[in-house]
Amino acid sequence: MERDKLLEEMYRVVYDGEVDRAALVAEQALASGLDPLDCLKLGFMPALERVGEEFGRGEKFLPELVAAGEAMQRALAVTGPQLAAARRDLPTPGRVLLGTVEGDIHEIGKRIVGSLLMAAGFEVVDLGVDVPARTFLERTRELQPSLVGLSALLTTTMVRQREVIEVLRQAGVRVQVMVGGAPVTPSWAEEIGADGYAEDASSAVALARRLTGGPGS
């Protein structure tokens, strides 16, 4: 299958929420020689973004949004390791510790950010979802990352971002923190003392580069 048709199929399986087919299409794309980053940025991600926009306008419903998200996760499970492998022997601008804060189980946006950070050369450690502030503190002490990324997709859980920052500071741990998620704003980031705010995955990479002084900062 030629490149354009593969990209169209990647877009379609996410937009239509074809969960069982998403991984197969990702495998076909990689086997054909497509770059895993192109698969994400040109195929899968635009479809998920469109579904999100249509959901916000009331044109899509929650089951369709969930299905698109699950299809995206299946695709990421295939392309993510390829992104990491492609960068394994290259210099890294830093290590990033990512996690969705306690009480929040949303993962798709965080995983996309992690994949793009890996593609940009960062070493990424993903703590998953529903991560307590104490865990962020313990893993930050253990791994000594250049940057900690806190995701929150609910207004009821974004306050946990403040809690994590406070716990880190009270423990005397000096690390830069960036925050993101649907309800998060630049003013909120400033209020809680975060070092930066990212609106989407692409801006998260640019922010990480700026905060760590990496290439393109």
| Three-state DSSP state, 197 | strand
Cα 76 to chain centroid distance, Å, stands at 10
Would you list the domain boundaries of the chain? Answer: 3-87, 95-212
Question: What six digits make up the tokens of 217?
Answer: 């900062």
For Cα atoms 197, 202, 207, give the angle at the middle one, nearest 5 degrees.
Answer: 40
Q: What pLDDT is attached to residue 214?
A: 62
pLDDT (tens digit per residue) in 121-151: 898 999 999 999 999 999 999 999 999 999 9
> What is the residue-wise DSSP string for 154-166?
STTTTHHHHHHHH
95-212: CATH superfamily: Cobalamin-binding domain (3.40.50.280)
Q: Residue 214: left (phi > 0), alpha (psi -120 to 50), or beta? A: beta
158 in Cβ contact with 188 (< 8 Å): yes
157 in Cβ contact with 104 (< 8 Å): yes
Instruction: State the amino acid at position 32 in one-letter form.
Output: S
pLDDT (tens digit per residue) in 60-75: 988 998 899 899 889 9
Residue 9 has pLDDT above 70, yes or no: yes
Number of H helices, E strands in the chain: 10, 5
Q: What pLDDT is attached to residue 99?
A: 97
Please give the CATH number for the structural domain made up of 3-87: 1.10.1240.10
pLDDT (tens digit per residue) in 86-128: 666 667 789 999 999 999 998 888 888 888 888 788 989 999 9
pLDDT above 70: percentage of residues in the chain: 95
End-to-end C-alpha distance for the chain, whole angstroms: 37
Dihedral sign (CA 50, 55, 60, 61)? positive
Give the side-chain half-sphere CA count within 13 A for 29.
31
Q: What pLDDT is attached to residue 90?
A: 65
Over residues 81-90, the mean pLDDT reads: 72
- In order of 36, 51, 80, the CA distances from 75 in angstroms are 10, 16, 8
Instruction: State the amino acid at position 149 in one-letter form.
Output: G
